[in-house]
């Protein structure tokens, strides 16, 4: 225990977004549990869906009511606790946690501060963009989860904004051992093809485009069904869309699922229409489960070289996307082959253990120069 590093992980919410799930998975790896003493700091007391699952892999969980009139008092408590615990590393995830957490550096001169950028910074708005940009320069290291994320940071760098002392790229990984559907290999296509999505339902997911594609597919092939798993600010709009366009019984809005593996078992084609993506965790989980991808070629997806497995699109040509998805229903052997290739690609390319080891190595290198 005495040789283990003490690390504080700071995040704004700890619900079901990609960054939160990624952190939960990293904390569960054997490498982290054997080398790191982890404390979790969450800055929102309401969105805590992953806390119970994570508690076995951390020492303490501290929760603060930042989004309340008690903001200043809660911020004081938060900074005081970070400073008092004398961590080796403070690792912040997502922009709000980044610019709020970096304040503790004033009181923790021996602690190394690391920030992971999970998203394309063009999605940041107003004060969040400014505060995040300023805080970059105070971090000892900024991790990007894809080359696309890192390249965009370079483009946005100005004299006082988004300057990095040390920049590294560590790709997101998934637990390919857990996200595995062996029965799909034996019978890789359901009787009726199911097109699906697992996501936090935010505006940049462009669910309007997703529904337009679903409508076009249904117009051409009445046997194909659709499911969207997740919740978020767009959920009620989706429900209204389904009602207005008479898609009840055709598009299932399953809501939030704590067991996303079970969701992937019932999805054949993973359709992703996002305008912005860093390194989409759900896509990697889906491919690990043998789902064939049909995805917008944006952000970190550009780095994923899965040529010959599903397809990427750069324009929302609804008719063409629909045609390609329907083709899998008409050619089951083609689907079966690409499903197996998707799983093989995930196993080879998306290693959670490799990601965890790279982060631990980074921590140790930063501490050598303390």
Residue 38, domain CATH = 3.40.50.2000
- DSSP assignment of 34-65: HHEEEEEEES-SS--TTHHHHGGG-SEEEE--
Give residue 300's pLDDT. Answer: 81
- Domain range enclosing 186: 182-349
Q: Of residues 224 and 300, which shows the higher confidence score?
A: 224
User: Mean pLDDT, to the nearest integer, of 31-57?
Assistant: 95
Q: What is the DSSP letter of 291?
A: P
- Tokens 């965009």 found at: 152
Q: Are residues 92 and 223 in the same domain?
A: no
* Together in a domain, 136 and 285: no
For residues 95-117, average pLDDT: 96
Residues with Cβ within 8 Å of residue 352, at least 6 apart in sequence: 25, 26, 29, 173, 174, 175, 176
Provide, rounded to the nearest whole percent, the portion of the chain with pLDDT above 90.
Answer: 77
**Is the domain of 156 the same as that of 227?**
no
Write down the pLDDT at residue 297. Answer: 94
pLDDT grade for 190, boundaries at 50, 70 and 90: low
**pLDDT-based confidence at 191, cuts 50/70/90?**
low
Regarding whether 345 and 201 lie in a shared domain, the answer is yes
Mean pLDDT of 37-54: 94
Q: How confident is the model at residue 15 (pLDDT cuts 50, 70, 90)?
A: confident
268 and 332: one domain?
yes
Residues 78 and 129 in one domain: yes
**Cα gap 306→325, rounded to integer Å:** 17
User: Residue 325 and residue 195: Cα distance in Å, rounded?
Assistant: 8
Instruction: Summarize the chain as % helix, strand, coil (round to 5).
Output: 45, 20, 35
Percent of the chain with pLDDT over 70: 98
Count of structural domains within the chain: 2
pLDDT in tens, 307-362: 899 999 999 999 999 999 999 998 988 999 999 999 999 998 888 999 999 999 99
Q: Is the domain of 112 the same as that of 200?
A: no
Burial 234-246 (b: 16+ CB within 10 A, else e): bbeebeebbeeee
What pLDDT sits at residue 84? 94
Question: Locate tokens 């339902």: which residue?
Answer: 201
Of 78-92, 248-262, 300-314, the range with the highest mean pLDDT is 78-92
pLDDT reported for residue 1:
56
Q: What is the pLDDT of residue 2?
A: 63
Assess whether 50 and 166 both reside in one domain. Answer: yes
> Do both 48 and 150 map to the same domain?
yes
pLDDT of residue 280: 85
Say whether pLDDT at 239 is over 80: yes
pLDDT at 187 over 80: no
The closest of 166, 23, 17 to 93, measured between CA atoms, is 23
Distance CA 353, CA 365 (A): 18
Average pLDDT, the chain: 92
Residues 209, 120 share a domain: no
Q: Which residue has the higher pLDDT, 320 or 158?
A: 320
Least confident of 18-22, 163-167, 334-338: 18-22
367, pLDDT greater than 80 = yes
Same domain for 154 and 211?
no
Q: Per the structure block, which two tokens stand in for 176? A: 């390919």
Give the mean pLDDT of 207-236: 95
Q: Specify the 3-state DSSP secondary structure of 113.
A: strand
* Domain match, 156 and 271 both: no
């Amino acid at each position: 225990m005495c040789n283990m590093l003490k690390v504080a992980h700071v995040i704004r919410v700890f619900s079901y977004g990609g960054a939160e799930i990624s952190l939960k998975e990293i904390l569960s790896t054997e490498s982290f549990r054997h080398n790191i003493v982890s404390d979790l700091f969450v800055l929102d007391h309401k969105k805590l869906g992953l806390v119970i699952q994570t508690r076995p892999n951390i020492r303490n969980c501290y929760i603060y009511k930042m989004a309340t009139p008690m903001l200043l008092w809660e911020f004081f408590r938060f900074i005081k606790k970070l400073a008092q615990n004398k961590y080796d590393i403070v690792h912040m995830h997502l922009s709000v946690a980044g610019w709020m957490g970096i304040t503790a550096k004033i009181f923790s001169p021996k602690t190394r501060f690391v920030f992971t950028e999970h998203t394309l910074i063009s999605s940041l708005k107003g004060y969040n963009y400014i505060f995040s940009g300023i805080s970059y320069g105070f971090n000892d290291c900024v991790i990007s989860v894809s080359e696309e994320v890192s390249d965009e940071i370079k483009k946005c760098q100005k004299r006082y904004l988004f300057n990095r002392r040390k920049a590294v790229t560590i790709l997101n990984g998934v637990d390919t051992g857990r996200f595995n559907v062996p029965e799909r290999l034996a019978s890789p296509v359901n009787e009726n093809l199911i097109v699906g999505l697992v996501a936090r339902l935010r505006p940049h997911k462009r669910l309007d485009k997703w529904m337009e594609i679903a409508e076009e597919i249904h117009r051409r092939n009445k046997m194909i069904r659709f499911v969207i798993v997740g919740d978020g600010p767009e959920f009620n709009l989706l429900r209204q869309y389904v009602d207005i366009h008479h898609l009840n019984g055709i598009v299932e809005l399953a809501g939030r699922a704590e067991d996303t593996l079970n969701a992937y078992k019932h999805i054949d084609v993973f359709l992703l229409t996002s305008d912005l993506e860093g390194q989409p965790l759900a896509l990697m989980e889906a491919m690990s489960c043998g789902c064939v991808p049909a995805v917008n070629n944006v952000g970190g997806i550009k780095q994923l070289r899965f040529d010959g497995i599903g397809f990427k699109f750069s324009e929302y040509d609804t008719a063409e996307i629909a045609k390609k998805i329907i083709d899998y229903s008409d050619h089951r052997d083609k689907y079966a082959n690409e499903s197996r290739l998707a799983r093989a690609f995930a196993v080879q390319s998306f290693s959670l253990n490799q990601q965890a080891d790279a982060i631990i190595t980074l921590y140790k290198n930063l501490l050598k120069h303390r």
